[in-house]
Structure 1
Amino acid sequence: MTVSWTPHRFTGGMLALDTANTVVLRHHPEKTFDRFDDPAEIARFAEAASGFRATELGGRRLEAPSPDKIAPVVLSIRETTDRLFRRAVSKGAIATADMPEFLEACADGLAHGRTEIGTLGKPFGDPATPIAFEAALAVSALSLLRGDTIARLRICPNCSWLFVDRSRNSSRLWCDMAVCGNRQKANRHYRRRTAANEVHNGEVQNG
């Protein structure tokens, strides 16, 4: 099924985290599913990310002309990124044992890139030309290793997505308040109302 790549799909705050979050409900083995099961979605995701992540990318467009060919590399970067930084959030530190696979995956993403990155004001290279999605994904994933970024990584308690908390006092709880935050509020309201009804019914029966 074709995915609608809406703004909510890009609440991770960085390309690498948005990509990690293409696996939905990782914390529910019975309900989890992968939005990249159809490799064609990789190209559609890259097209959407070019807009939603324009600031991070310095305005450089992402290109994924052969999603079937790059899928193994993209998935490898995605999974090692999720594993490394999800554990970093849980433990408060990077597990060195997870680093080799992560670095190897990123190296594969960069291996065939014919571009230059990291110049002043152009962290992803010249915005006048497109950059291979897998290469940009690797750059984004590696940039997560900065200490100030790691300290702001969070896991949404509703959907389990990874995101960067850029709030002033580092108090952001949800990946998306309009979606996950409101769902949790609605769930709490439902539980309170149900509990109140059960108490009321019990009083009526005992009365």
Structure 2
Amino acid sequence: MTFAWTPHRFSGGSLALDVANSVVLRDDPARRIDRFADPALIGAFAGGANRHGAERDRFGRLEPVAADARENFLALREAIDRHFRAQARGDGSPALLADLLERVAETLRRSGDRPQALDTATARSALSLVALSEPDRLKICPNCRWLFLDRSRNRSRAWCDMAVCGNRVKASRHYRRRRKEIRP
């Protein structure tokens, strides 16, 4: 099966959240898929973010992560996920924030003359999320468990992507309702 970085894969609303969402079914060890387990997919992610990412205008054309920076990039991804997932649940902690900031600092120190590298842009994106003036806009999709920013005017967005997760939930609800009507 081939994999492509489609627009749905960039529904988090920020580069940092899209990077964190590169682990599918994170809470289910038996079905968990790490899209960055294949280093080629990390490189392809930069191209996908250039085409579909919400912050593509902010960072310009992203370059892949350097081979010697991949381990740090993956550690940054995990720190982003831990901190913002806890924040979205309402149980963030200073320790998680400190860990994230340490990873961001390490990434920025290592970036050198590569300001357009995916890892550098991801670190900068995470910093802007830390400074988010409305942290209640950060949510977890009830269907796929991905992190996303709710940019709707009344903060009512329920899913990371209505076309995918929203439709799945609504179709499932409809199916259960129809089965109940058929079976007395």
Same-fold call, TM cutoff 0.5: yes
Tell which deviates more after alignment, 55-64 or 180-189.
Answer: 55-64
Normalised to the residue count of structure 1, the TM-score between the two structures is: 0.82
Give the Cα–Cα distance (whole angstroms) in 2 for the partners of residues 17 and 42 of structure 1: 15
Normalised to the residue count of structure 2, the TM-score between the two structures is: 0.91
Residue pair 2:62, 2:118 contacting (<8 A) in 1 also: yes
* C-alpha distance after superposition, 1:129-182 (max 9, x if no partner): 961111111100111112424221010000000000000111000100000000
Instruction: Determine helix, strand or coil for the equivalent of 2:26.
Output: coil
> Paired residue for 1:163, among 130, 142, 148?
148
Instruction: Determine helix, strand or coil for the equivalent of 1:64.
Output: coil
Question: Mind listing any 5+ residue stretches in structure 2 that lack a counterpart?
Answer: none
Give the Cα–Cα distance (whole angstroms) in 2 for the partners of residues 52 and 98 of structure 1: 29
Aligned to 1:202: none
Give the Cα–Cα distance (whole angstroms) in 1 for the partners of residues 122 and 35 of structure 2: 16
> In angstroms, what is the RMSD of aligned CA positions?
1.9
Instruction: Determine helix, strand or coil for the equivalent of 1:163.
Output: strand
Question: Mind listing any 5+ residue stretches in structure 1 that lack a counterpart?
Answer: 116-128, 200-207
Give the Cα–Cα distance (whole angstroms) in 1 for the partners of residues 127 and 55 of structure 2: 17
Aligned to 1:184: 169
1:191 deviates by: 1.0
Q: Which has the larger radius of gyration?
A: 1
> What aligned pairs does 1:45-84 form with structure 2 within 5 A after superposition?
45-53=45-53, 55-58=55-58, 60-64=60-64, 66=66, 68-84=67-83
Give the Cα–Cα distance (whole angstroms) in 1 for the partners of residues 54 and 131 of structure 2: 20
1:65 deviates by: 5.8
Aligned to 2:135: 150
> What aligned pairs does 1:1-207 form with structure 2 within 5 A after superposition?
2-53=2-53, 55-58=55-58, 60-64=60-64, 66=66, 68-91=67-90, 94-114=92-112, 131-199=116-184
